[in-house]
Amino acid sequence: MKQVDEILVDEGFVDWASNQTSQRTSEWKQWMVEHPEQKSDVEEALKLFKYMKLAETNVSESIIEQEKNRLLNSLNQEKKPAKVVSLNWFRWMVSAAACIIILAGAAYVFNEVFGKEEQKTDFGQIAEKQLPDGTSVLLNSNSSVKYAANWEKTKDREVWIEGEAFFHVTKKVNHQRFVVHANKLDVIVTGTKFNVLNRKNKETIMLQEGGVTIHFQSGREIKLLPGESIEYNGETVDVDNLKPEKAKQEKILAWVNKRLYFENTSISEVCQKINELYGIDMELGADSTVISKRTVTGILPNDNLEVLLQSLEATSDFKLERKDNKVIVNLPN
């Protein structure tokens, strides 16, 4: 049983996490297949690895030299044979040590050690934001994108997303990659316009223009063509069975035009969606068993909570009761 810190220093894991192709990568993929019970540990190690990579650009040569000497002296004192590692791997390890990276969670490392820039929206707010390279990001309600404080100096332009956003990526002359990190997958961008949804256990990627490669934690990669989308639920969907589908762009991008698109959607899912976007609790009333079987089909306005609720009630299938910051869904009288 490997611990997270042991996974982080496994060279096969490092090759795999770095998207490299080698014999060690193949061996690591086989190890993951044989040890499914360690999926959560691998996911945690991968999150930490992504943040730890940023340390290389934050550590001076003098600090690296100091740490190298300190580690070598420690090895000599203990009289243990030193393991031969590549210079890049050694520098990566030293950089991580010099930045005092501790296994307390990737979020802590990112926020407290490296610093961050963040663009976000409040409940009920849709807003266009600008990234340092000129990339335009339209953020849906209750969403955010984060990136390292020294983002322009890093090898890849990396962002971490929570919620939903439509990206229009600015191309770089030196072909610097643009990578979007979600909870269970990474979007490696070779195109310019795409939508990313990352909420709870659901992740949906839709490509409008250009090209993207979806990189999963298992190592599998799927390329999308314009007009294609992929939806991934890490709890119930097997990555190996995923295939690109023709995107329902009207439905996926309805939020861009301040609309909500429902197609035979259960009222429970509708309530969850409104909660995510507006931060208001919605629950089914006394006849919940009957109410839960009802569905909603239609395009509802999404630029004002009150108007949205009135539109939902106007379907004549529901009666909404307001109590403080809660909405109770009842059957009509």
Write out the DSSP string of 96-154: HHHTT--SS-HHHIIIIII-EEEEE--TT--EEEE-TTS-EEEEPTT-EEEEETTGGGS
Distance CA 51, CA 140 (A): 25
Structure tokens at 317: 């299938």
DSSP tag of 257: G
Measured torsion, CA atoms of residues 261, 287, 289, 332, in degrees rounded to the nearest 10: -40
Q: 310-320: per-residue pLDDT in tens?
A: 999 888 788 99
Distance CA 249, CA 206 (A): 8
Helix ranges, the chain (H): 4-8, 11-17, 23-34, 39-52, 61-78, 87-98, 106-108, 249-252, 267-278, 288-291, 305-313
Q: 107-157: per-residue pLDDT in tens?
A: 444 444 445 789 999 999 999 999 988 899 999 999 999 988 776 665 788
Q: Which of 69, 88, 112 lies at the terminal end of a domain, its last residue?
A: 112
In a shared domain, residues 198 and 288? no
In a shared domain, residues 84 and 64? yes
Residue type for position 71: L
* Among 192, 187, 221, 223, CA closest to 208: 192
Structure tokens at 91: 């520098």
In a shared domain, residues 37 and 68? yes
Is residue 177 within 8 A of residue 189, CB to CB? The reply is yes
At 200, which CATH number?
2.60.120.1440
Tell whether the torsion through CA atoms of 299, 303, 307 and 310 is positive or negative.
positive
Residue type for position 207: L
In a shared domain, residues 127 and 65? no
Distance CA 277, CA 267 (A): 15
Write phi, then psi, for 264 (nearest 5 degrees): 50, 45
Is residue 242 within 8 A of residue 209, CB to CB? The reply is no
Structural domains in the chain (count): 3
In a shared domain, residues 246 and 268? no
In a shared domain, residues 129 and 221? yes
Which pTM was predicted?
0.68
In a shared domain, residues 171 and 280? no
Confidence band, pLDDT 50/70/90 cuts, at residue 46:
confident
Say which residue, 29 or 263, is predicted with more confidence: 263
- The number of beta carbons lying within 10 Å of the beta carbon of residue 211 is 16
Residue type for position 153: K
End-to-end CA distance of the chain: 59
Q: Which of 251, 270, 292 lies at the terminal end of a domain, its last residue?
A: 251
Tell me, what's the pLDDT at 76? Answer: 58
Q: Are strands 281-284 and 326-330 parallel, antiparallel or unpaired?
A: parallel
Tell me, what's the pLDDT at 329? Answer: 92
Residue type for position 316: S
In a shared domain, residues 285 and 235? no
Q: Which of 251, 281, 308 lies at the terminal end of a domain, its last residue?
A: 251
In a shared domain, residues 141 and 14? no
Say which residue, 24 or 194, is predicted with more confidence: 194
* Among 172, 98, 101, 104, CA closest to 132: 172
In a shared domain, residues 277 and 299? yes
Write out the DSSP string of 192-206: SEEEEEEETTEEEEE
Distance CA 224, CA 222 (A): 7
Domain that holds residue 204: 115-251
Tell me, what's the pLDDT at 39? Answer: 76
Confidence band, pLDDT 50/70/90 cuts, at residue 20:
low
Confidence band, pLDDT 50/70/90 cuts, at residue 96:
low
Q: 53-76: per-residue pLDDT in tens?
A: 544 444 445 544 555 565 556 555
In a shared domain, residues 302 and 270? yes
In a shared domain, residues 312 and 326? yes
At 277, which CATH number?
3.55.50.30
Say which residue, 175 or 60, is predicted with more confidence: 175
Distance CA 323, CA 312 (A): 17
What is the maximal distance between C-alpha atoms in the chain?
A: 82
The mean pLDDT value of the chain amounts to: 79
Q: Are strands 157-168 and 178-181 parallel, antiparallel or unpaired?
A: parallel
Confidence band, pLDDT 50/70/90 cuts, at residue 175:
confident
Q: Is the pLDDT of residue 88 over 70?
A: no
